[in-house]
Amino acid sequence: MLLRISIRVPRIPPFAFFSTLQSPSLTSYLTDVWGLSPAAAIAASSKLSSISDWNRVSTKSKPDSVLAFFRSHGFTPSQITKVISRYPRFLLSDPARTLQPKMDFYLRSGFSPSTITKLICSNVDLLRSSLKKRIIPSFEFLKTILHTDEHVVAAVKRSTWVFHVNLGKKMAPNIDTLHRIGVPTANIAKLAKTHPSVLIQSTGRFGESLERVLRMGHCPGDAMFIIALHSVSAISVATLKRKLEVYKSFGLPEDKIVSRVNQKPMIVNLSEDNIRKSFGFFMEKLKWAPDFVFSSPVLLTLSLEKRVAPRVSVYEILVSKNLWGEKPIVPRFFFISDEKFSKRYLLSFQNECPEVLETYKAMRRE
């Protein structure tokens, strides 16, 4: 008869157990030296996933040098906290070897110190990406299109993701497509500078966006073509349909909506809530019919808080003081520049009606 022997093998604790053994010292270091909150410090610790990582951090020589690097480049405590919370592995970096060369390149290329710190806070990949394999090739690729460092810097400020992808594979095919259908080189350059994210879409999605713009009736040779391309690229077909339904809810006929969208494609990029608020404001405050508002669709793109509401308050005060006259208020009232508006409607009435300027500044929080 065989004896059944049961041998109890001690269970090896999971890896997370070893990590938590060391986490208190690291989390304390992150809270005391780096200024992270306890929750952020714990989260950052958990992202340093290997035993060797923990051991390397425990020496603190590299993390201290990383902290000195960020401070020397003008990062504020809150910015440093944000960067490390998003990518804790910076703690393991050798700043002189990996971080400083990238910062030197950005500064040489024309980024101001304050600009590059803000951009890095918004996208840590600006420091994570390889300088030789990604950052420099991407910069040089953009320069072949935009020609100057200044224009490349402007493009990167609009979309920091251009240094995260292989532009030769992502952007080049889409640019070739635009050339093929007759979009002028100058217009392509303008699109690359102002909305580079449009050009780094997958070729499939980019092709779908092009088809939608062409169906809208835009000619590839016209300046409006790239504006429409940017607008439709930013939203899906389903989202576009939802926004058209919002416009329809104000009693606007579909053919007129489509016509206006073709003329001013940027109005499809407004949020549904913003569309409703803008229509509601003009209808309630100025008693304008929806059809009249939509006859100048750019009205919907203006800031209610910074432009429309303060100017309406000026109009209401002038009317109450019998200083407006008989002329009706027209959309142009909202389109003129702040400088012209100030001269025409604020400074000219400063003696007769000083509250106009006071109210306007208060509403704009100036």
> Measured between alpha carbons, how far is 291 from 140 in angstroms, rounded to an integer?
49
331 alpha carbon, distance to own chain's centre: 29
Last residue within a domain, chosen from 95, 121, 141: 95
Question: Residue 90 falls within a domain, yes or no?
Answer: yes
Tens of pLDDT, residue by residue over 162-188, are 888 899 999 999 999 999 999 999 999
Quick one: pLDDT band at residue 32, thresholds 50, 70, 90? confident
Question: Residue 161 falls within a domain, yes or no?
Answer: no
Question: Residue 307 falls within a domain, yes or no?
Answer: yes
pLDDT at 100 over 90: yes
Question: Residue 294 falls within a domain, yes or no?
Answer: no
Return the pLDDT at 267: 92
Say what the alpha-carbon torsion angle 122, 124, 130, 134 is, to the nearest 10 degrees: -20
Question: Residue 47 falls within a domain, yes or no?
Answer: yes
Buried b (16+ CB within 10 A) or exposed e, 10-39: eeeeeeeeebeebbeebbebbbeebebeee
Question: Residue 267 falls within a domain, yes or no?
Answer: no
> Measured between alpha carbons, how far is 72 from 33 in angstroms, rounded to an integer?
16
Return the pLDDT at 11: 38
Residue 20 belongs to what domain range? 14-95
Q: What is the total count of domains within the chain?
A: 2
Last residue within a domain, chosen from 74, 95, 116: 95
Question: Residue 241 falls within a domain, yes or no?
Answer: no
pLDDT at 54 over 80: no
Q: Rounded to 5 degrees, what angle do the CA atoms 58, 64, 69 make?
A: 145
Question: Residue 203 falls within a domain, yes or no?
Answer: no
* pTM across the whole model: 0.72
Last residue within a domain, chosen from 44, 74, 95: 95
Tens of pLDDT, residue by residue over 290-335, are 999 999 999 999 999 999 999 999 999 999 999 998 888 999 999 9
